[in-house]
Structure 1
Amino acid sequence: MKSDKAAESVLRQSDFYLMATRHEVRFHGCRVEDSGNVHIFIDGGEGLYDEVILEPFVIAKSFEGFDPEELVVDLGPKIIKFYVEGDVDIDENTEPLEWFSTEKLIFDRSRNLPGIHAFERYREFATYNLLYVGIAKASDTFDRLFEGAHHARQKILSNEHPHRIGARVSDELILFPFELVPTVIREVGTAPAFEGGQVSRHHHKVIVADAEKAFIHLLKPEYNVTQYADYPRSSDGLYGASYQSYGFYVEENLIFVTKNQILHGHLDHRRADVLEIAGDIVRLRKSTGTHSQNDLCR
């Protein structure tokens, strides 16, 4: 992560993050049709299996109309790469046309990207055991996690046991860097008005500080020592601000599980669970009737 400039750029845009583990997912063989479509079998452990169908030529066309005649598929247990067939020999330094790690494939399928089919159990694969919620108070997630010692991460790596035999905890520990995007709803007469995410840097940090406390207070991740029992009361959060109510939700197709709660995120905000605060009342408002039975399997 520290040597990947693209990853660093993403982390620089985040100051709120989650750490979670999940049984290491692996690709478990593939089958290529005469059409070029690739069937990949995915092993999520604990009896969780599925199959994804990739249309590499459809995926290739998404690159500004790029339409190669032949592609080379390189499949390993944790990553699949597509290369353009040509005169240059393909080696470890060759840049692939497209690639999918196990986590990237789960993420891209959740967004219904072109050329990715089947894999109906992707939300089960996108279910994680939430261990820690953190923020970067003065900087960003990259500085917080990689420019110095991060004690919670070190404790997780030292204390946790891998879910899959033969895996390491570092193989199963996943970092979720989030960008908080505020939306303000003001009611004027009978028509609500929506405002976008432009707020001052100071108020943004106040929102981030409150989000951390809300997640920890309601979900109680194991490695957060301070549980904020007095939340929503705090000296650096949103308590006492002019909001009648406010809340937080995960705008991704992810599920986070702790010993106390299950938090369902969703790209459609109407189908996401909300950490809701109104005065001194704090609750996890479940999005009723919108989750499939598979969402609760893990």
Structure 2
Amino acid sequence: MADKGFEHISANILRLIMAPMSNQEAYWLSSERKFMDFATSSQIYMLAQREEILFANIRVTDGEKPAITFDLEGVSFEARNIRLELNQPFFAKFGSDFDIEYGPKVLKFIAPEHFEYLTIEKLAFAKSHAKLEIEIPNLDTINTFRLHYVGISKDRDSMRRLFADGHQGRTNILTNGFPIKPGARLTDELFILLFAVETLQFKTYAVGGDFSKFGDASAITQSLLVADAEKAFLKFLKTEYNTETFENYPKGRDGLYNLDLDGYMYSLGEDLKLTTDTAELRGSFEPIASARRGMRADCIVIRGNTVTLVRAG
């Protein structure tokens, strides 16, 4: 504990506001006002690549236990006979009478008052967030992405930064990158991850500590958080398409460095693994398990001028 009689630690967790979506899907959604309004909650984003995985051999079963059974196929990924039960709470809003349409990229559920579509990424996301009960073998492969770019939008939200303003990093990836699957379109392999930053403040004090000088959590604004988070992740995950790697981090004018914090940390609050040529970072939907069990996600820890990557476990 610091000599001032108390210690103020900021634990910051990046949470996806929605499932990862392909660049193609994001392009389509960028023209939907309702979606764009929803996406305003994200000011930090990542562009990452993973082979395209497709639905195959889709079968729909009616009766007392309606279900969709399918395979998943990719270049290096294969899973057979995955069963999605349709009589679970996720589908309750559709009632008992709805149509199902499907193809290699998406499952669609259609009722007079409701519509839902599930990509493979949305299935994995819903399972991770305990919204769907489904067993998917080798789920880690679906949730592993090669990170190409980390960015923020200081004045707008992530989607408008990427699609309304023209984004050089995204353009460079689509122009110069190579698909993993022969014959695939890079727009189907490039995924957009939209994050919001969730912050938790931990304050401990010694007997006789001066409460009047207890760190002010209100000074940690969202704009400071996203600016600092971008630098923290790029400090370790040196991507191919970010031109600035922030080697002097944590020092900087637009982050948390100059606030009265004894330490701060960042973790990825999703069941994802991000890789680059030099590093990897593993997240977890429950990054902080307990004091006894420790961290389930890798954590970037900053104290003073020292930045350390603490592995989960």
| 1:277 aligned onto 2:302 | yes
2:108 aligns to what? 81
Identity among equivalent pairs (%): 31
Q: Amino acid of the residue matched to residue 73 of structure 2?
A: D
CA distance in 1, matches of 2:143, 2:191: 11
Question: Helix, strand or coil for the counterpart of 2:134?
Answer: strand
1:166 Cα deviation after fit? 2.5
Question: Helix, strand or coil for the counterpart of 1:164?
Answer: coil
1:177 aligns to what? 194
Alignment of 1:234-273 (within 5 A): 234-270=252-288, 271-273=296-298
Query: Does the 8 Å contact 2:79/2:136 carry over to 1?
Result: no
Query: Does the 8 Å contact 1:110/1:122 carry over to 2?
Result: no
1:168 corresponds to which of 182, 185, 189 = 185
2:88 aligns to what? 58
Question: Helix, strand or coil for the counterpart of 2:74?
Answer: strand
1:222 aligns to what? 240
Question: Alignment length, in residue pairs?
Answer: 267
CA distance in 1, matches of 2:281, 2:126: 20
1:286 Cα deviation after fit? 0.8
Question: Helix, strand or coil for the counterpart of 1:99?
Answer: strand
| 1:136 aligned onto 2:153 | yes
Structure number with higher relative contact order (C-alpha < 8 Å, ≥ 6 residues apart): 2
CA distance in 2, matches of 1:37, 1:221: 41
Question: Helix, strand or coil for the counterpart of 1:8?
Answer: helix
CA distance in 2, matches of 1:28, 1:267: 28
Q: TM-score, normalised by structure 1?
A: 0.82
Query: Does the 8 Å contact 2:53/2:77 carry over to 1?
Result: no
1:31 Cα deviation after fit? 3.1
1:50 Cα deviation after fit? 4.8
1:113 aligns to what? 131
1:72 aligns to what? 99
| 1:19 aligned onto 2:47 | yes
Q: Amino acid of the residue matched to residue 250 of structure 2?
A: P
Unaligned runs of 5+ in 2: 1-28, 208-216, 289-295
Q: CA RMSD in A?
A: 2.2
1:7 corresponds to which of 12, 32, 35 = 35
Q: Amino acid of the residue matched to residue 207 of structure 1?
A: L
1:282 Cα deviation after fit? 0.8
1:51 Cα deviation after fit? 4.3
Q: Amino acid of the residue matched to residue 129 of structure 1?
A: R
CA distance in 1, matches of 2:272, 2:116: 23
Q: Amino acid of the residue matched to residue 211 of structure 1?
A: A
Q: TM-score, normalised by structure 2?
A: 0.79
Alignment of 1:22-61 (within 5 A): 22-33=50-61, 35-59=65-89
Unaligned runs of 5+ in 1: 85-93, 191-197, 289-298
Aligned in 2, Cα 1:33/1:287: closer, same or farther, shift over 3 Å? same
CA distance in 2, matches of 1:38, 1:269: 32
Query: Does the 8 Å contact 1:50/1:119 carry over to 2?
Result: no
CA distance in 2, matches of 1:185, 1:131: 33
Query: Does the 8 Å contact 2:79/2:137 carry over to 1?
Result: no
Aligned in 2, Cα 1:266/1:60: closer, same or farther, shift over 3 Å? closer
CA deviation map 1:16-36 (0-9, x unaligned):
110101001100112344632
Query: Does the 8 Å contact 1:248/1:276 carry over to 2?
Result: yes
